[in-house]
Amino acid sequence: MQKGAIYSHEPSPGPLWNKAFAAALLVASTGALAILLRVFFGLGFSTNLNDGHPWGLWITWDVLVGTGLGCGGFGLALLVYALDKREFSFLMRPAILTGALGYSFAGFSVILDLGRYGNVYHLFMPSHWQFNSVLFEVALCIMAYTLILWIELVPAMLERRLILGYRIRPNILVRWLYRLLFVVLALGMLLPIMHQSSLGSLLIIAGHKVHPLWQSILFPAYFLISAILMGYGAVVIECYLASSLHGTPFEVRTLGRLSGIAAWLSLLYLFVRLEDLTFRGLWAEALKGWPGMLFVVENALYVAPVWIVANKERRNNAGWQFVAAILFIAASALYRFNAYWFAYNAHVPWRYFPSFLEILVVIGLIGMEVVLYLAAIHFFPILPVSRPVLASSEK
Amino acid sequence: MATAKKFSYNSDSGKPLADLSRRQFIKFCGCVAAALGMPASMAPKIARAIEQGGRLPVVWLSFQGCTGCTESLLRSTHPTLEKLLFELISLEYHETLNAGAGVQAEAALKETLNRDAGRFVLVAEGAIPVADKGVYVRINEQAGVDLLNEVAPKALAVIAIGSCASWGGIPSAGPNPTGAQSVGSILEGRPVVNIPGCPPNPYNFLSTVLYFATFGKLPELDAHNRPKFAYGRLIHENCERRPHFDAGRFAKAFGDDGHRKGFCLYKLGCKGPETFANCQVVKFGDVEASPISIGHPCFGCTESGVGFKKPLFQTADIQRFTPPAFYPHVLEPRGEGATPLAAALGGVAFGGAIGAGYALTNRLFKAADGKEGADKPKGGGAHEDE
């Protein structure tokens, strides 16, 4: 059936203004108010951050989970462009849109997280750069990749020739952009490898502050794999969103194969992670107390989707695929929360739980992303639409 | 030369001198290398230079000074002074330490000038008065300035030790009736290494001399001809009280609470923020002490225009390191647990996400049970589950 389908991208049908959009807008504006409070009254007023926990919910959610969810474009690019699996290429656009939004909002929340956010322009001044810093590498890479993602979205935007009544015609500049797009795509595969792994390297530096169950020299590898897994999960969910909105058949076979790939990656992750634990003789630690429980839950969340996908029937069932996708995301998100927050303890007396405003800002940012996402898929041909073709009779 | 256990030098006359164990000797060379900021591998090189090159002849002239620099040198203990003088360098003439006196001493100077011309190091201590034809320092019926002008051209290198010789020091403080000047300004055109300090740390002097003996050249100098290894950084940079400065904890009067607790002495007039020296790294008297460590502000003796010029308790002009605009708390808040409101909001958000995920999954299961994609669940919202 997949063989006989033609894929195109279309703007989502129906009016932009519906219940979901209105709800998202409401949440987004509440969040905007919370952000204003942070901007005018400072970090001390609006957050529970302290010297022991200088990074809190904003970094773990917006940067680590946000960019992880945005790694669908990166993970698919590896499949489509590096491994030449073109069957997945129709999933690229929504994944790149998620990536562009996720990364942009990650950058925005990093600015909110800076005590002196006014100094953020230093990042753009080469004279202020410090090349020995992992954090700088992450910052530079994420900025570059965000730009790359938006450039990768340009073709989708230009396909719609009429924007707000203005006629858009690809000019010479755009034609050159198309010719050089392969460079952009290559960078789009390289940069996430660099900064997603560096998010792990940041924790290596944190040393003993990270619980031994998580502290590992293999941090970069774990963060890279968890980013790809989250990305695949997000892609599956988005694909179902597209099918539901357009009323087109579910892409069960393609998504089944994608889930299979994710499951193999998950197995690889589990193998390395547990082998690492054996190597360092930490198995006794793995069942002790709070951290042990988090560790067990986290890895169970990685095992569960593998169990789901291992069965062919479940693998090709939309519901199970969706559950597996959510579990992939949950596992990687929990892993990142554990490494950056739950298992991160500078010193016993330090405590941290996000303040009301911190949580409100995070929810507001999600609302904003949803608003922008819904608007983007409404105005531009982002979501894939499959049209079955009669030629499918050849089997 | 070197025997198994004991280590001795041949003087120029070929007689073995007092002994210094090999271990002590290498330890000393290591200290010198460390003071110079060189790797430990330099120590053997320095040792070899001293062993093979013979001792460096040194002529020490005293002018308008308090002999504090000599006193400081007398108190260097690794090695002790006599070992230094007899085994590491060959001190040919020093008015305070000469064995002979009067005519005998002056004859020794004459002999050295003839024998070691172009080979010895001249160390000048004290400022040089030039008012009234230099009459305020007379040695052997000769004005100090004339003596310097006679000896210096024959020297291989000239080292001005102490603040007086380096930039004038106390004698040059206003109104300067004797017209005291630094050695460098008298010997204009000749490179003079300045080792300022009142008194300077003896190890800065020793390190300079041994660097010269080892490599045959002078160490790198700053704009005021001070060796950079010793005078390259502000006292403030390595000060043990620096954290108090950064945190805004200052002693405001001698003996007050802050002073007793060892707070920063900046407000008592400490000149550390504008004085270049290594006092906080290579400390004095082998008891790990410096003026700042015993609770007195630095008065800027190594810095021309600061020491003996600025009032003792006037606050320094801060260079390079300005104090922060905001100070941290003495005790940082350790963070709070969850407030009910935050916990509730977090719980609602988390629960909502799980609920939405559950609802969507249910819908998909139903759709899949019916027919693949035939059902049309009205979608929307939460693309960002979890």
Segment holding A317, helix H or strand E: none
Label residue B35 by pLDDT band (50, 70, 90). Answer: low
Provide the percentage of residues in chain A whose pLDDT is more than 70. Answer: 93
| Residue-wise pLDDT tens digits, A269-297 | 999 999 999 998 888 888 888 889 999 99
Task: Indicate if B103 and B164 belong to the same structural domain.
Answer: yes
Interface contact flag, B368 A318, Cβ < 8 Å: yes
Task: Indicate if B190 and B293 belong to the same structural domain.
Answer: no
| Residue-wise pLDDT tens digits, A219-268 | 999 999 999 999 999 999 999 988 888 888 888 889 999 999 999 999 99
Chain A residues inside the 8 Å CB shell of B332: 50-51
- Residue B122 in domain: yes
Task: Indicate if B269 and B226 belong to the same structural domain.
Answer: no
On whether the CB atoms of residues A220 and A205 are closer than 8 A, the answer is: no
- pLDDT confidence of residue A245: 84
| A199 vs B327: which has the higher pLDDT | A199
Across the strands, what pairs with B264?
B250
| Residue-wise pLDDT tens digits, A25-41 | 999 999 999 999 999 99
| Residue-wise pLDDT tens digits, A29-81 | 999 999 999 999 989 889 999 888 888 999 999 999 999 999 999 999 999 99
Chain A residues inside the 8 Å CB shell of B383: 98, 234, 237-238, 241, 370, 373
Q: Which of A58, A367, A94 is nearest to A251 (CA)?
A: A94
- d(CA A388, CA B372) in angstroms, rounded, equals 13
- pLDDT confidence of residue A394: 43
Range of the domain at B67: 55-201+217-230
Respond yes or no on whether ipTM tops 0.85.
no
Pairing of strands B157-161, B192-195: parallel
Whether the predicted model's global pTM rises above the 0.80 cut: no
- pLDDT confidence of residue B369: 78
Task: Indicate if B175 and B63 belong to the same structural domain.
Answer: yes
Chain A residues inside the 8 Å CB shell of B374: 249
On whether the CB atoms of residues B128 and B180 are closer than 8 A, the answer is: yes
- pLDDT confidence of residue B189: 82
Chain B residues inside the 8 Å CB shell of A238: 383
Interface contact flag, B381 A370, Cβ < 8 Å: yes
Domain locations in chain A as residue ranges:
49-352
Per the prediction, chain B carries an average pLDDT of 82
Interface contact flag, A249 B341, Cβ < 8 Å: no
Q: Which residue has the tokens 């005078």?
A: B231
Task: Indicate if B251 and B225 belong to the same structural domain.
Answer: no
Given a cut of 60, is residue B317 above it in pLDDT? yes
Per the prediction, chain A carries an average pLDDT of 88
The predicted model gives B172-196 an average pLDDT of 90
CATH number of the domain encompassing residue B273: 4.10.480.10
Q: Which two three-digit tokens encode residue A156?
A: 């989708």
The predicted model gives B115-135 an average pLDDT of 91
- pLDDT confidence of residue A110: 92
- pLDDT confidence of residue B296: 93
Domain count, chain B: 2
Interface contact flag, A244 B378, Cβ < 8 Å: yes
CB neighbour list of residue A115: distance below 8 Å, 6 or more residues apart: A42, A43
Given a cut of 70, is residue A85 above it in pLDDT? yes
- Residue B97 in domain: yes
CATH number of the domain encompassing residue B72: 3.40.50.700
- pLDDT confidence of residue B383: 40
Residue type for position A345: N
Task: Indicate if B180 and B308 belong to the same structural domain.
Answer: no
Using only C-alpha atoms, chain A has a radius of gyration, in whole angstroms, of 22
Chain A residues inside the 8 Å CB shell of B343: 353
Task: Indicate if B225 and B237 belong to the same structural domain.
Answer: no
- d(CA A73, CA A145) in angstroms, rounded, equals 11
The conformational region for residue B127 under phi > 0 = left, psi -120 to 50 = alpha, else beta, is: beta
- pLDDT confidence of residue B39: 64
Task: Indicate if B224 and B80 belong to the same structural domain.
Answer: yes
Label residue B285 by pLDDT band (50, 70, 90). Answer: confident
- Residue B43 in domain: no
Q: Which of B201, B237, B213, B250 is nearest to B72 (CA)?
A: B201
- Residue B131 in domain: yes
Given a cut of 70, is residue A164 above it in pLDDT? no
Mutation for testing the B interface, residue in A2, A301, A322, A373 having most B CBs under 10 Å: A322
The conformational region for residue B100 under phi > 0 = left, psi -120 to 50 = alpha, else beta, is: beta
Q: Which two three-digit tokens encode residue B10?
A: 């041949």
Task: Indicate if B92 and B223 belong to the same structural domain.
Answer: yes
Listed residues B292, B307, B326: the one ending a domain: B326
- Residue B25 in domain: no
- d(CA A135, CA A139) in angstroms, rounded, equals 6
Query: What does residue B49 show for φ and ψ, rounded to 5 degrees?
Result: -60, -40
Task: Indicate if B117 and B171 belong to the same structural domain.
Answer: yes
In a 13 Å sphere around the CA of B157, the CA atoms on its Cβ side amount to 20
- d(CA B282, CA B232) in angstroms, rounded, equals 13
- Residue B356 in domain: no
On whether the CB atoms of residues A223 and A196 are closer than 8 A, the answer is: yes
| Residue-wise pLDDT tens digits, B66-100 | 999 988 888 777 666 777 776 777 888 888 888 88
B362 to chain A: closest CA residue: A319
- d(CA A22, CA A30) in angstroms, rounded, equals 12
- d(CA B235, CA B242) in angstroms, rounded, equals 10
- pLDDT confidence of residue B3: 40
Q: What is the DSSP letter of B218?
A: P
Task: Indicate if B91 and B195 belong to the same structural domain.
Answer: yes
- pLDDT confidence of residue B4: 38
Task: Indicate if B73 and B221 belong to the same structural domain.
Answer: yes
Given a cut of 70, is residue B386 above it in pLDDT? no
Helices marked H in chain A: 19-46, 57, 66-69, 72-77, 92-113, 134-159, 172-179, 181-206, 219-246, 252-279, 289-310, 312-315, 318-337, 356-379
Whether B386 and chain A come into contact, CB under 8 Å, resolves to yes
Torsion angle in degrees (nearest 10) through CA of B43, B45, B50, B54:
180
CATH domain A49-352 topology: Formate dehydrogenase/DMSO reductase fold (1.20.1630)
- Going A379 to A381 to A384 to A388, the CA torsion angle's sign is positive
The predicted model gives A7-16 an average pLDDT of 84
DSSP A86-128: GGGGGGHHHHHHHHHHHHHHHHHHHHHH-TTGGGGGGGG-GGG
Interface contact flag, A249 B373, Cβ < 8 Å: yes
CB neighbour list of residue B194: distance below 8 Å, 6 or more residues apart: B160, B165, B166, B167, B182, B184, B224, B225, B226
| Residue-wise pLDDT tens digits, B230-279 | 999 999 999 999 989 888 889 999 999 999 999 999 999 999 999 999 99
Nearest beta carbon to residue A326 from set B333, B383, B386: B386
Q: Which residue has the tokens 């669908």?
A: A72
Provide the percentage of residues in chain A whose pLDDT is more than 90. Answer: 56
- d(CA A189, CA A179) in angstroms, rounded, equals 18
Q: Which of A194, A391, A237, A222 is nearest to A299 (CA)?
A: A222
CB neighbour list of residue A151: distance below 8 Å, 6 or more residues apart: A177, A181, A184
- pLDDT confidence of residue A247: 83
Q: Which two three-digit tokens encode residue A65?
A: 């989970």
Is the omega angle on the peptide bond into residue B175 within 30 degrees of 0, that is, cis? yes
- pLDDT confidence of residue A347: 66
- Residue B64 in domain: yes
Interface contact flag, B345 A248, Cβ < 8 Å: no
CA distance A251 to chain B (A): 9
Q: What is the DSSP letter of B15?
A: -
- d(CA A258, CA A249) in angstroms, rounded, equals 17
